[in-house]
Amino acid sequence: MRLAWAILLVVAPLTLNPQTAPPAASPCDQIPAYSTCDVVLELAGPDAASHPDPYTSVDLKAELRSPNMRTYAIPAFWDGGRRMVLRFAPTEAGRWEYRLTSNIAAWNGQTGAFMAAASDSPGFVTPANVHHWAYRARNLPHLWMAVTEPRFAFWSDEEFRLVADARLAQKFNHLRGLVLGDSPDAALSSAGLPDLRHFARLDARVRYWNQKGGMVDLVLASSAGALARALPTADARRRFLLFLTGRYATMNVTWELAATFENDKLSRAILDDTGNTLKQLDSYHHPLTTGAEITSGPLLDGGWMDFLSYGTADSSIGAIEHQLYQQPAVARLGRENSGAGKSSPSDADPAEFRHRLWNAAMNGQYPVYQNSGEGPDYAASPGARAMTVWFDFLLGTRHWDLEPYFELDGGRALALPDVEYIVYVDKPGPVELTVAHHSYDVVWMDPADGSTQKRKYSGEHFVGEPPDRFHDWVLHLVREGTLESMNRSYKFESRDVPVQEIQINPEKVPFEIDAPAGDLTLGKPAYFSVKLKHASRGTRNMLWLWTCEVTEAHQGYRVLGTTQQGTFYPPVGLALEYPANLLLRVYGINGYGTVYMSPKGFGLNR
C-alpha cells in the first residue's frame, strides 16, 4: 500500500496588537487536514528593542482547539530577524480556533480561527497492537521500512533529489538522518543559534518526502555526548526543542534523540531531560526514541520512549527483548557493503545483510537499511533490492498481527495462527512446522529477488525442504481465502497479544550461572558461563542474553554478551561511585519460546 498526501504551506504575515482585532479571514482557511500553514508575526517598536535576540527571549505559543475540542499547544519558532512563526496542522476537517500566549503583551491573548478541509491523509504514525504500527487518523496498518542517509540534510539539492527518488522507488517509507550533523556547528552558530539556511533546506526535504507519503526520522545528534556538547544546559536544550517542535511537529516525522548513547558519561540524565521535554512540547505525539549501539531498552523506564531502537543485528537480543517489552522495535542492521568498502566491523556483504534482515523480521523487528557508501552512486544495490522484496512480501500478509512462532524445527518463524505462517530458513534443510489443521497454499520465496515456487498442503504437521540448498529461503503457508476475507471485513483490528511472564523460579529455570566468580573490576576481562541443569528438546536451540546493572545508580543495564559462554569487560558508566553492587542477569529463550532469567550479584571495583 502506497500512501501519499499533500503538504500545503501557506505563509502569511500577521500583525496583532491590543488595539487591532484579528483579521476576519485567516490565511489558513480551507487548508486540508494534515497540511501545514504558517502564520508569521513580526516584533515591532518597543517589543523589538526589548528583544534583540528573539530566539532566546521571546515565548510564544498557540493553543489550537479542534472541532472535537481536542487542544494542541503549538510553540512558535524564530525564523530570523524579528520574525516568529506559528506553524499549524489541523488533524480533522471543520472549524479550528486558536489563542496566543506570549511574553509579548501585544500578542498575548489574541485569538483567531480558520476552517480546515477534509483530506485523504491517513494521519501520523503511532504504535499499535503492542509491537506494530498504525496510521492514527484512519486506523490503517503501517509497515515501517527505513533507510538511513545520515547527511541528507547537508547534501546538494540535486544529490538529495536523486537519492530520495531512488529510495522512494525502492518503497522505503522512512528516511532517517541527522539534524545537527556529524558536527553540531554545521547547524548551529557559535552563539548556539540555529543556522536558518540549514533548517530551511531541511524543511524543504522533509516536505518533499512527506508529499510522497513517507515519514522522516529526525536524529537530533550523532551521540548523547554530541547532543550535550551542542546544547550544554537544560535551557539551551529547551530553547532548541521549542524551535524544533515548532518547525517540524506539524509534519510527518519521528524523533530520535541520538544515534548512540552507551559510551557517553551521564548520557542517561541528558536523554531523560531531553526526552521528557520533547514529549511535553510535541502535542502531535510523534513516536520518540533514542538510537543505541546495541539496544535502547535500558532507558525505557524513563517514561518518554515510545519504541525500541537497536543498533545491532544480533538475533538473541532482538528475540529475547521482544518477549520482555510491549513496544514496537526498529533495528539498524549494519551497513551493506555493495562496493564502497567496509569501515566498521558491523558492515556486511549483500548476502549477509539479507540474512540479518530476515532474522530481524523473525524477531518482530522493523528494519533500517544503510549502505557503506553515500550518495546516488550507492542507491541501487542488492541489499536495497532485498529490502524491497521484504516489503512487498510483508505487505501481502497480516503483518500487524504477526508474532514470533516456535512450534517448528529447521527455521525461525512468525505467525498469525490458524491463518498464515512465515518461516525463514537461514541454512536450507528440512523444515517441520506444526500448524492448525487446514488446507494451505505453500509458497517458497527466494528473498534475494522475490521469485516464488508454489504448491498445496493439507494437514497439521508440515514437513518439507526448500527447492534447493544453495541459499536461504522464505516459506509461507497461508489460507489465502481466509486472509482475503479478513482483509475485506476490516482494514485494521488489533488482536490480544499475550505478554509473557519471565520464568525466574530457580527450580524451573533449566540453567544457572557458572561464572564469573568473585568481584569484578572495570577494564578487566571476566569469563562468563551458564550451565544447563538438564537437556531437553527445548534447550537444544537456546538463545542467550547477558546484562548487568548497578541498580542504585539508575543508569540502566548494559548488554554483556549473547552466547552461552565467553568474556566480557564491565562497561564504564554503570555506576557513579565505586565500589558498587552489580546485578548480573542471564536470560535464555528455549525452542518453545519460553524466556527464563537467572540473576547473581557481584561487587564492582574501579
Q: Provide the Cα torsion 135, 137, 139, 142; round to 10°.
A: -10
- Residue 46 φ/ψ, nearest 5 degrees: -60, -35
Cell, residue 578: 565505586
**Cα–Cα distances in Å, from 375 out to 164, 165, 211, 370?**
10, 12, 21, 11
What pLDDT does residue 60 have? 97
User: Can you tell me the mean pLDDT for 241-270?
Assistant: 95
Q: Is 508 exposed, middle or buried (0-12, 13-18, 19+ CB in 10 A)?
A: exposed
Cell, residue 118: 477534509
If residue 83 lies in a helix (H) or strand (E), which one and from where to where? Answer: strand 83-88
Q: Quick check: 63 pLDDT over 50?
A: yes
Q: Under a CB-based contact definition with an 8 Å cutoff, are residues 90 and 80 in contact?
A: no
Q: Under a CB-based contact definition with an 8 Å cutoff, are residues 388 and 171 in contact?
A: yes
Q: Under a CB-based contact definition with an 8 Å cutoff, are residues 361 and 424 in contact?
A: yes
Q: Which is it for strands 308-310 and 329-332: parallel, antiparallel or unpaired?
A: parallel
Q: Quick check: 331 pLDDT over 80?
A: yes
Residue-wise pLDDT for 36-61, tens only, equals 999 999 999 999 999 999 999 999 99
Q: Provide the Cα torsion 585, 591, 593, 595; round to 10°.
A: -20
Name 174's Cβ contacts closer than 8 Å, sequence gap at least 6. Answer: 144, 145, 146, 147, 214, 215, 216, 217, 254, 368
User: Can you tell me the mean pLDDT for 14-18?
Assistant: 41
Q: Quick check: 494 pLDDT over 60?
A: no
Greater confidence (85 vs 263) lies with 85
Q: Under a CB-based contact definition with an 8 Å cutoff, are residues 582 and 552 in contact?
A: no
User: Can you tell me the mean pLDDT for 534-538?
Assistant: 80
User: Can you tell me the mean pLDDT for 272-297?
Assistant: 97
pTM of the predicted model, to two decimals? Answer: 0.93
Q: Under a CB-based contact definition with an 8 Å cutoff, are residues 514 and 564 in contact?
A: no
449 phi-psi bin (left φ>0, alpha ψ -120 to 50, beta other): alpha
504 phi-psi bin (left φ>0, alpha ψ -120 to 50, beta other): alpha
Q: For all residues of the chain together, what is the average pLDDT?
A: 92
Q: Quick check: 27 pLDDT over 80?
A: no
User: Can you tell me the mean pLDDT for 192-211?
Assistant: 96
Q: Under a CB-based contact definition with an 8 Å cutoff, are residues 537 and 523 in contact?
A: no
What pLDDT does residue 15 have? 41
Q: Quick check: 444 pLDDT over 70?
A: yes
User: Can you tell me the mean pLDDT for 485-489?
Assistant: 74
What pLDDT does residue 497 have? 66
Q: Which residue has the cell 530520535?
A: 256
Q: Under a CB-based contact definition with an 8 Å cutoff, are residues 40 and 83 in contact?
A: yes
Q: Quick check: 496 pLDDT over 70?
A: no
Quickly state the pLDDT bin for 495 (edges 50, 70, 90). Answer: low
Q: Quick check: 1 pLDDT over 80?
A: no
Q: Is 196 exposed, middle or buried (0-12, 13-18, 19+ CB in 10 A)?
A: middle
What pLDDT does residue 186 have? 80
HSE (CB half, 13 Å, CA atoms) of 207?
A: 14
What pLDDT does residue 537 have? 79
Q: Quick check: 118 pLDDT over 70?
A: yes
Q: Is 58 exposed, middle or buried (0-12, 13-18, 19+ CB in 10 A)?
A: buried
What pLDDT does residue 441 have? 96
Dist CA 475 CA 431 (whole Å): 9
DSSP annotation of 339: S
Q: Which residue has the cell 480546515?
A: 116
Q: Under a CB-based contact definition with an 8 Å cutoff, are residues 224 and 257 in contact?
A: yes
Q: Is 303 exposed, middle or buried (0-12, 13-18, 19+ CB in 10 A)?
A: exposed
User: Can you tell me the mean pLDDT for 477-487?
Assistant: 87
Q: Quick check: 288 pLDDT over 90?
A: yes
Q: Quick check: 484 pLDDT over 90?
A: no
Question: Quick one: which of 227, 380, 388, 366 has its CA closest to 310?
Answer: 366
Give the chain's length: 606
Q: Quick check: 21 pLDDT over 50?
A: no
**Most confident region among 16-30, 314-328, 473-487 by mean pLDDT:** 314-328
Quickly state the pLDDT bin for 138 (edges 50, 70, 90). Answer: confident
Q: Quick check: 12 pLDDT over 80?
A: no
Q: Provide the Cα torsion 407, 412, 415, 421; round to 10°.
A: -90
Say which range, 105-114, 255-264, 493-502, has the weakest mean pLDDT: 493-502
User: Can you tell me the mean pLDDT for 559-578?
Assistant: 91
What pLDDT does residue 536 have? 82
Which domains, and CATH codes, for the chain? 9-117 (2.60.40.10), 130-395 (3.20.20.80), 403-489 (2.60.40), 511-605 (2.60.40.730)
